[in-house]
Amino acid sequence: MSSDEVSTPDFAVDRLVHEPARLGILSVLEGQKEADFQFLQTVLGLTKGNLSSHLSKLEAAGLIRVTKVFQGKLPRTMQEITPAGRAALERHWEQMDAIRNLGR
């Protein structure tokens, strides 16, 4: 690759998304219609506190939606990715792919 061939990569990633655990949450939710807290905690192997904190940040940014439902008398918290969340995740992987291909 010569230096005049290539457009410079975009390193300005969304730091909210770039955090690995939050990338994991968004990736899991991208493949599901919705997922409850328990499922996310098991699949991601995160502590309750850690997962709650990441979910709050993603919700505050509008990248996920969190709804509380009752199953019989039991409360369940359901999470789903929003269109903005999907777009942010897709853009992030595009940025990572562009960086990854710099060496090719």
Sheet with 74-81, strands from edge to edge, namely 35-36, 74-81, 64-71
Token pair, residue 90, equals 């897709």
78 scored as a contact of its own copies (CB under 8 A): no
Q: What is the DSSP letter of 34?
A: -
- Mask for 1-40, x = binds its own copies (CB under 8 A): x-xx-x-xx-xxx----x-xx-xx-xxxxxxx-----xx-
Please say whether the beta carbons of 28 and 35 come within 8 A: yes
Residues contributing to the site for its own copies (CB under 8 A): 1, 3-4, 6, 8-9, 11-13, 18, 20-21, 23-24, 26-32, 38-39, 42-46, 93, 95-96, 99-104
